[in-house]
Structure formats: C-alpha cells, structure tokens
Amino acid sequence: MKTPNQDIKPITTRINEKGNIEIGGCDLIELANIYSTPLYVFDEATIRSMTKAYKDAFKKYPKMMMMYAAKAFMTKAICKIMEQEGFGLDLCSGGEIYTAKTSGFDMSKTLFNGNNKSYEDICMAIDSGVGTFSVDNFFELALLDSIAASKNTTVQILLRITPGIECHTHEYIQTGHLDSKFGFDLTQIDSAIELLIDEYKNLKLVGLHAHTGSQIFEKQVYYDEVEVIFKEIRRIKDKYNIILTEVNLGGGLGIKYTEDDKPISVYEIADTIIDSIKINSEKYKIEEPYVFIEPGRSIIGTAGVTLYTAGSSKQVPNGRKYQAVDGGMSDNARPSLYQAKYTVEIANNPLSEEKEQVTIAGKHCESGDILAKDILLPVINEGDIICFYTTGAYGYSMSSNYNRVLKSAAVLVNNGNSDIILNRQTYEQLCESDVIPESIL
C-alpha cells in the first residue's frame, strides 16, 4: 500500500476554483495574506494519515511502539497530536524535554537520546520523568549513574550501538556506520556492561538502540539491523546471563522531495522488520522483544510546505536568472548544508505552461543562500507566492536568526481552518536576551 511519504505534496493538495493551490481546504494565497510570509504550513490530515499508516503497518507485531523523532519538527501542538495518535517521543535536548513536559505529554513514553547530554539536561530529564535514556558513551554512563544516585533513583537505559551498516544516503545523515560520532562500537559493549554490573548500580539496562541513518530508500538495512542487534542480544545473554527485552531500531524512512526520489512505503519496511524479527528471534533463540521505532521526517516532512513572496530578480548576462524571495537559509538551511533539492510551484499560478529556468535565491548576505538552483517555473512576477513542498522536517527545526532575520510563523490547516502553532517572532523577542554592559556605556 502507498503511504504519504511517497508523494511530494500533502494529501489534501488541490487547485481550487480561483486557480490557486489549496492545502487542508485553505487557499495558500489567503494564508500568505493573513499570516504573512515566509510561512510554514502543516497539513493535519497528512500528519495523521502517516501516524495511522505506521500503526496499521506494524499491527501484526503487537509488541511495537512508535516514538516520533521530535528533532524533525516540534511544537506543543505537534506533541498533542502525537499523544492523540498513540505515539511516544524521541527527545534529544533539554528544550525538547521542556516542550514535551509543558505540553502535558506523558513523559513515561519518552526516550532521551543524544551523544553529549549535559548535567543540566540529564537532571531535567530525570526530574521530568523521562521513561528511558539511550546512553551513547562511557562518559554518559558515569555521569548518568552519578546523577541518578544523587537523586536516589534508578534510571532505565538502552545502550546505543553502531551496528556497522551503511545506508545509501548523504554522509552527513548516516549514523549506523562504524566511523560515527554516535554510540558504542560493538567491541565496546562488554566494557560498558561490566561497568553496569560492577559499578553503576543506579542504571537498569533493558535493551539496545541503533540507528542506521536518515532518508533511507532501501529495505535491506532494516533487515540487517535487526539481525545485528539480535545476535548481540544472544551473545550478551550467553556471556552475562542478562536478558534484554527492548530494541530500538531508530527511524530514517525517506520521503519524496522530487520526482527523482523513490522512497519505499511504511508497509514495506514494516514487513521487512517483522520478518527479520521472526526469523532472527528463532535463529538466535531469544524471546521476541518489545520493539521501538523513531519516525520523524516520514511523519512530518510531506505534511509541510513553506510559502515565500517573490521580490527582486536578476538576469546575469549570458547566465542565470535569479529570483529572490523574502526568506532563505534562515528558515531552510538544508539546501546550503547538503544541497537538498525541492519541488517548487507558484501558488497563485501553478498551471501556466509558459516556463523559464530560474534559481530561487534567499535574502541573506551569503552567496550560498540558494534555495533551488536551475529549476523550471512559470514566469514569476514580484509579489507572487512561491510554494516549496516537503519542508515539514528540518525547516523550522534548523532555522536561525542569521542577519537578525525573524523566525517565521507556522500554521496547522485542516478542513478549511487554519490555526497558528508558532507565532512569528517579533523584534522585541529577537533582542530580549541582548545585554549592554555598563563598562561600555
């Protein structure tokens, strides 16, 4: 079965009677007029369609729990939707913990992830009732045990391992290969377990966590990942008589940014993972564990678009035509970071057959501030609304105030209604942390 991550556009996208693009029953031109641009727009129906697809695809394996990877895009409203859909949260900072906690989320259904958790973040996580810690390294083992002891509590942990599996994706988003900043190498696991047995009495090891990468288009990596982990669980049982009952497989399912992308469906990875669980549980003679996965991009990516207003343009003699917009690398860093490509349309003129090659440039004082290079679009006029699809993941999450540009607003659309889920930043908010010391007055 096809799932929304295999489409470029949100599932409610259509051209309305005005000839404008409409998402969630809302005309994008009207949204731009009401909320201004740049503007992030999220289609609630697409988000919930993906969460339901995950639950349906994995229903054949009842010991399964989905944990939304909050790093993709997180607000209190998104936390609420995930809780309503029966998802947990994969968190990786104090800010994400605070957001989840203050949204009213059940913190027992959260995992704290990350390769350099601070003392303050760990204390916040324990005090907030985070359910499980994914421990990344020896430093964290010692720090976490010390803090847990000082609070007279026991913390449930997974050991994050690097399974030695490389997926065919950009090197910046590969996390499971051996030369990675994340996790224990397989040769280090025994040392970690022996420390847990002999010294760290406030940590309770319940399982292993691995993650092979992001924007994955292939099934085999999921099958191989399960086998590596299950083999290790059997070895740990034989050597230490420790029975691990939980496995976290990470996330990483890819989405369709352009027509060149060919992502697989949620049902395909579910069948692959479940088959591997069944086969390798039998092969290594272990009880089928509780399995957690952490989809992020595949849940939120296709659901989001970003709207810009066209401004100045420049035709280089015998060269490119540049069309500037009122945003850029501060609201979408991915094109500058790793040359990410997007599908783009003119929201108020999507069907025009008169097209030209154009490069969409951001407004920032940076030559690399290019959002889309050498794409075909209808002729753009000043004031047109330009729509970038599949920006739901890592757009706002990686946004900045570069050039002291304000962070953009975000709205949730559904059944013709639009609701603010992130207010546009104000200049007062931008400067509220600034301090002029008396010594320079």
What's the confidence (pLDDT) of residue 177?
43
Is 156:204 a contact under the CB 8 Å cutoff?
Answer: yes
What's the confidence (pLDDT) of residue 180?
67
Closest alpha carbon to 51 in 95, 97, 3: 3
Residue 20 lies inside a defined structural domain of this protein: yes
Is 267:222 a contact under the CB 8 Å cutoff?
Answer: no
329 with 371, same domain? yes
Does the pLDDT of residue 173 top 70, yes or no? no
Q: What is the largest CA-CA distance in the chain?
A: 73
Burial class (CB in 10 A: 0-12, 13-18, 19+), 112: buried
> How many whole angstroms separate alpha carbon 31 and alpha carbon 85?
27
DSSP characters for 418-431? EEEEEPPPPHHHHH
Express each pLDDT in 143-171 by its tens digit. 999 999 999 999 999 999 998 776 444 34
Confidence of residue 186 (pLDDT cuts 50, 70, 90): very high
Does the pLDDT of residue 415 top 50, yes or no? yes
SS3 content of the chain, % helix, strand, coil (to 5): 35, 25, 40
Does 387 participate in catalysis according to the annotation?
Answer: no
Token pair in block for residue 110: 């959260």
Question: 250, 276, 300 — which closes off a domain?
Answer: 300
37 with 96, same domain? no
Determine which one of 79, 365, 387, 431 is catalytic.
Answer: 365
181 with 260, same domain? yes
The whole-number average pLDDT for the span 223-241 is: 96
Length of the chain: 441
Express each pLDDT in 64-107 by its tens digit. 999 999 999 999 999 999 999 999 999 999 999 999 999 999 99
State the Cα torsion 365-371-373-379 to the nearest 10°.
-100
Return mean pLDDT, the chain.
95
What's the confidence (pLDDT) of residue 213?
85
Q: Give the structural domain span for 23.
A: 4-42+305-431
246 with 331, same domain? no
What's the confidence (pLDDT) of residue 178?
53
Alpha-carbon separation of residue 348 from 308, 343, 354, 387 (angstroms) = 12, 16, 14, 9
- Residue 410 — φ and ψ, nearest 5°? -135, 140
Angle, helices 220-240 vs 189-198, to 10°: value is 40
Number of structural domains (the chain) is: 2
Does the pLDDT of residue 356 top 70, yes or no? yes
What's the confidence (pLDDT) of residue 167?
46
The whole-number average pLDDT for the span 18-36 is: 98
What's the confidence (pLDDT) of residue 198?
96
Express each pLDDT in 278-318 by its tens digit. 999 999 999 999 999 999 999 999 999 999 999 999 999 99
Residue 328 lies inside a defined structural domain of this protein: yes
Confidence of residue 176 (pLDDT cuts 50, 70, 90): very low
62 with 201, same domain? yes
DSSP characters for 101-161? HHTT--GGGEEE--SS--HHHHHHHHHHT-SEEEE-SHHHHHHHHHHHHHTT--EEEEEEE
Express each pLDDT in 191-203 by its tens digit. 999 999 999 999 9
Which residues are 172's β-sheet partners?
none
Residue 172 lies inside a defined structural domain of this protein: yes
The whole-number average pLDDT for the span 208-217 is: 92
- Residues 6 or more apart in contact with residue 292 via CB below 8 angstroms: 64, 65, 66, 67, 88, 111, 246, 247, 248, 249
Question: 248, 273, 300 — which closes off a domain?
Answer: 300
Token pair in block for residue 318: 């015998």
173 with 268, same domain? yes
249 with 389, same domain? no
* Share of residues in the chain with pLDDT > 70 (%): 97
Express each pLDDT in 42-56 by its tens digit. 999 999 999 999 999
If DSSP codes are grouped into helix, strand and coil, which group holds residue 162? Answer: strand
> How many whole angstroms separate alpha carbon 108 and alpha carbon 147?
19
